[in-house]
Amino acid sequence: MSRVVCHQTVSLDGFTAGPDQSLEHPMGVGTELLHRWQFRSGEPGHEADAAWRAGLLAPLGAVVMGRNMFGPVRGEWPDETWRGWWGDEPPYHAPVFVLTHHERAPLELTGTTFHFVTDGFDAAFTRAREAAGAGDVRIAGGAATVRQALAAGVVEELALDVVPILIGAGERLLDGVTDPGLVPVEVVHSPLATHVRYRVGR
């Protein structure tokens, strides 16, 4: 059965990205350790990380993401040479609907097509749900997109990888979010992160 899921890595003080995101610092300054758990997942003692990383790579029906998660270009697209952070074979292998204020033709890469949606979150989510069929829809981020999804009441499951570092500034995941009634259903930990899966109670 199709679900709407969101999986985010956050610092202990709640940030998914640091300040000054750029080509040189895609996740912002001071975030070097934020996703370390993913890259240690094959090592002894990191079995929990490996399991959660596998969840991130599980097959999807469709994805919704914000423009900055696609790439750091702001304003009008200067051209279409920027093809995203993800290389020629992005990890999604599903249609991805990118929120943006500026039109752009769909971008087809190996296994993934990015569609650029200019009429807001609700329109992107509707298209993603239709494209997903029986598959899951993932709200991929960034933080502003997750907040819009929570405000719209569409997220059914929120998984957080809480990393014991402090970033101090940047994009905080839950700023301004009305309590969605999170109910923890799974908690596991590793030396690098505590992984918590919540059902959204609403």
* Residue 108 placed within a domain: yes
The domain in which residue 152 lies consists of 4-72+88-200
User: Which tens digit of pLDDT belongs to each residue from 77-134?
Assistant: 776 676 777 778 888 999 999 999 999 999 999 999 999 999 999 999 999 999 999 9
Type of residue at 189: H
The answer to whether the CB of 154 falls within 8 A of the CB of 126 is no
Name the DSSP class of 170.
Answer: S
pTM (predicted TM-score): 0.91
Residue, of 172 and 72, whose pLDDT is higher: 172
pLDDT reported for residue 106: 94
Q: What is the pLDDT of residue 43?
A: 75
Kindly state whether residue 107 falls inside one of the protein's structural domains. yes
Q: What is the mean pLDDT of residues 137-160?
A: 95
Query: What token pair was written down for 163?
Result: 């990393």
Among the listed residues 104, 157, 100, 95, the one whose alpha carbon sits nearest the alpha carbon of residue 127: 95
Number of domains in the chain: 1
How far apart (Å, rounded) are the C-alpha atoms in residues 70 and 73? 9
Question: Does residue 77 lie within any of the structural domains?
Answer: no
Residue 200, pLDDT above cutoff 80: yes
- Is 82 a domain residue? no
